[in-house]
Structure 1
Amino acid sequence: MKFLIWLLVLAAAAVALSLAAHNPGYVLLVYAPYRIHLSLTLFALMLIGLFVLSFLSAQLLIHALNLPDKVRRFRTERAEEKKRGVFLDALTAFLEGRYSTAEKAATQAMGLGETSDVLPVIAARAAHAHREVERRDAFLAAINDDSAMKLAAQAQFALDEQQPQAALLALQALREIGSKHHAGVLNLELKAQQMLGNWDAVLECLTNLEQRHALDVTRLSQLRQHAWQEKLRAHAHDAGQLLATWKAIPEELRHRANIALAAAQTFSAQGNAHLAWQIIIHALETQWDSDLAACLGDHVSNDAAKRTEQAEQLLKAHPDDAGLLLALGKLSLHQQLWAKSHDYLNASLRVKPSRAAHYALGQLAEQQGNSDEALTQYRRAAERRSTNRAR
């Protein structure tokens, strides 16, 4: 199709030239004493040629005048391209964990004139990874104090150096510039508050992170339980605060084995063995835990017989539970029911060997005056403890 179009154009041009060649008109140019006769067709062709030559000369002159600007733009673009390349090299090396390379590339990019705050932050974090504190601080000093990247880096560095108060100061500055609700900032604050033991603040951070779905559900639950455990232990010497803290724990968390155990141990240490017993029983009724059941034997009082009877009722539903058998052995030992205690403790060992059962058997033998057996059981308890540590 294109061939046909060009053929038609050439044919039309040939016809036009043929007609122009037979044109009888002419042009007379007079410049005394000279006279020049030209055919009209030749004169038209000369005018067209002159126009084309003038146009090309003008374009060439314009290009020549613009050449310095084009050279400058070319050099600028080459420099920008080189800076971007080095910038990407620094970022790639940092993300890959090649911190020495990242620091060198970031320094090179800054030397080439790159002004982004990302580069000194990368260099500072890379230097921090190699514990080059002076270089790290020098890189940070090159950044404006109101830079969120700088403040976040300072908070992270302070946490790595076990300086939670300094981290909180940096995080406070971050909040002042509008970064309060960022998940990354909340995670940094969470770590700082954990180091300081500010468990109310830890729980608040966890609530904020949960609202933003910024933590795994399992991890969130573990951290929340740990915070409540530590709050209980923090009030070990204040009965009123301890009770208030226990009541403030959400109902679904009170039945968790680790929280129930922490609460029972703390209340028992204050002399409230009855409440400690009730906490463990309620937790076991909600969800059975053998390790928690074993703690029933640690919270004894004057009503040991009644508690033994209650524990034996639980044994009907869990006849082969090593923890419950251990607890019954300890309760029987407290009541000086030697034979019964011996049977329960050995039954617990048959189900699952434990240091606590061997230690209780040692106490039983010691109270019966059998020092050789006591030493044997204590030695087995120590060996069991050493084995557990090795694992």
Structure 2
Amino acid sequence: MKRTLLILIVAMLLGALTLSAIQADSGYVLIALGNTSVEMSFWLALMLLLGGLGLIWLVLRLFRGSIRAGQAVTERLFSGTSARAQRRTASGLVSFIEGNWKQAQRKLLRAAPKSGTPLINYLAAARCAFEQGDNHTALELLHKAEQSSTNSELAVALTQARMQLMSRRYEQCLATLERVKRKAPQHPVVLDLLRQVYIALHDWESLKQLMPSLRAYGNQNEAALEALSSQLHRALLEQAGQRVRGLGPERAREALASTWKDIPSAVRKQPDVALLYAQQLVDNDLHVEAEAQVRKTLEKHWSPELVRLYGLIRANDAGQQLITAEGWLKKRPADALLMLTLGRLSLRNQLWGKARDYFQSSLTLHKHPETCAELARLLAHMGEHKKSTEYYQQGLLLTTERLPDLPLPKEPEPTH
């Protein structure tokens, strides 16, 4: 109220002063253009000037208002209101989840300009384009996503890395993830994608270095991590065995022992890992070390595969090997695979009759082609060729599916 009264008083004073100035000296303004001249008082000219400026200001304001109104109408026609954009985005995401890529991409891109979260629209649309095989459009949409929002680099990079991984562009995916990892070294999704890339590239050393981060910050449960650790160390064992093959027993022994020592104790106790280590020792002619490893493992964890391998190991003391295996037989008298191993160890000790008995006992418990072949070979060298042929036939039939019933020629009559 006071402010209005003050403005009114000031206006009245200014009006009085202006009226006094007009009465004191009206002045004049002369405008001449060619042969035409216009003369008027100064105050009239001032009023006309101010009125003209006010009219220009009003016209410009109306013009700007009409432009804004036109833009608003255009946006409503082509993009719709913010509420409509949100509804269209939600519908597009539903189509995205359903796998309706074409429809989802169309809805998400139409809603993006008025969406409150354009980053989501462009990222999902990029994935839609990728799923339709349009990699060029997918890349363009990723660029739009990066420009649509601040702090969008991580989300864009992860989306790009997933698409590169799915298209098996592993080297490009690795480059993308390594760039992101420098900024987000503990992000669980970055770590998991790196895990998948390293496995695909068989880059086991890098996966080994990543394992502590996966345990500390990854999103996998304990069982999955143990399975991953087992897979990793099996691969490292195979890699070490292949790397030293043909380089001599001493270098092979050192390399394999070093790799085995680096394996966590919980993984070393797994029979399949112990089997792989022993197999690598055998493949590099380290039979003494392989025998000790298999024997120690079988004393704690019984494994049919390790039992079979024990019969193939050529340790220095074949007699002691046979005694060790026969000790296991007391606890497992009905183990067909152990009988096969005992038969092979009997052959190494040149106990032909004992080997024959063990092979036959194994076949009584379980008919296996490998046992048939061993017994057939032994019988052939013992001069029992007919029986040898019968066991070879048995083993051959065990390796094939059941033959159909078909007509066959009669067997020839034996000649005297």
TM-score, normalised on structure 2? 0.67
Displacement, 1:301? 3.2
Name the CA distance, whole Å, in 1 between partners of 2:345 and 2:276. 20
Name the CA distance, whole Å, in 2 between partners of 1:242 and 1:114. 58
Q: Which amino acid in 2 is paired with 1:202?
A: L
Q: Which amino acid in 2 is paired with 1:275?
A: E
Q: Which amino acid in 1 is paired with 2:238?
A: R
Q: How do 1:169-318 and structure 2 match up within 5 A?
A: 169-178=175-184, 180-212=185-217, 214-236=219-241, 237-238=243-244, 239=252, 240-318=254-332
Name the CA distance, whole Å, in 1 between partners of 2:121 and 2:145. 10
Name the CA distance, whole Å, in 1 between partners of 2:330 and 2:156. 63
Name the stretch that deviates more: 331-340 or 266-275: 331-340
Structure 2 counterpart SS, 1:246: helix
1:257–1:289 CA contact under 8 A, matched in 2: yes
Name the CA distance, whole Å, in 1 between partners of 2:384 and 2:110. 78
TM-aligned CA distance change 1:233 to 1:174, over 3 Å = same
TM-aligned CA distance change 1:192 to 1:103, over 3 Å = same
Residue equivalent to 1:90: 92
Displacement, 1:231? 0.8
Displacement, 1:295? 1.5
Residue equivalent to 1:158: 164
Residue equivalent to 2:354: 340
Displacement, 1:309? 0.8
Residue equivalent to 1:17: none
Displacement, 1:223? 1.9
1:203–1:227 CA contact under 8 A, matched in 2: yes
2:343–2:356 CA contact under 8 A, matched in 1: yes
Displacement, 1:260? 0.6
Aligned length: 319
Name the CA distance, whole Å, in 2 between partners of 1:365 and 1:135. 71
1:325–1:348 CA contact under 8 A, matched in 2: yes
Residue equivalent to 1:149: 155
Name the CA distance, whole Å, in 2 between partners of 1:172 and 1:223. 21
Name the stretch that deviates more: 212-221 or 83-92: 212-221
Q: Which amino acid in 2 is paired with 1:175?
A: K
Displacement, 1:82? 1.3
Residue equivalent to 1:358: 372
Q: Which runs of 5+ in 1 are unaligned?
A: 1-67
| 1:140-184 Cα distance to aligned partner (Å, 9 max, x none) | 233328621221122222222333221111111211332x21221
RMSD: 3.2
| 1:50-93 Cα distance to aligned partner (Å, 9 max, x none) | xxxxxxxxxxxxxxxxxx99xx7996996111111121122222
2:192–2:218 CA contact under 8 A, matched in 1: no
Structure 2 counterpart SS, 1:288: coil
Displacement, 1:111? 6.2
Residue equivalent to 2:126: 124
Displacement, 1:317? 1.5
Residue equivalent to 2:112: 110
TM-aligned CA distance change 1:113 to 1:355, over 3 Å = same
1:358–1:381 CA contact under 8 A, matched in 2: yes
Displacement, 1:375? 5.7
Name the CA distance, whole Å, in 2 between partners of 1:374 and 1:141. 74
Percentage of identical aligned residues: 24
Name the CA distance, whole Å, in 2 between partners of 1:358 and 1:218. 40
Displacement, 1:379? 5.5
Name the CA distance, whole Å, in 1 between partners of 2:396 and 2:143. 55
1:254–1:283 CA contact under 8 A, matched in 2: no
Name the CA distance, whole Å, in 1 between partners of 2:124 and 2:350. 68
1:322–1:352 CA contact under 8 A, matched in 2: yes
| 1:10-66 Cα distance to aligned partner (Å, 9 max, x none) | xxxxxxxxxxxxxxxxxxxxxxxxxxxxxxxxxxxxxxxxxxxxxxxxxxxxxxxxx
Name the CA distance, whole Å, in 2 between partners of 1:372 and 1:269. 35
Displacement, 1:376? 5.3
TM-score, normalised on structure 1? 0.71
Displacement, 1:307? 0.4
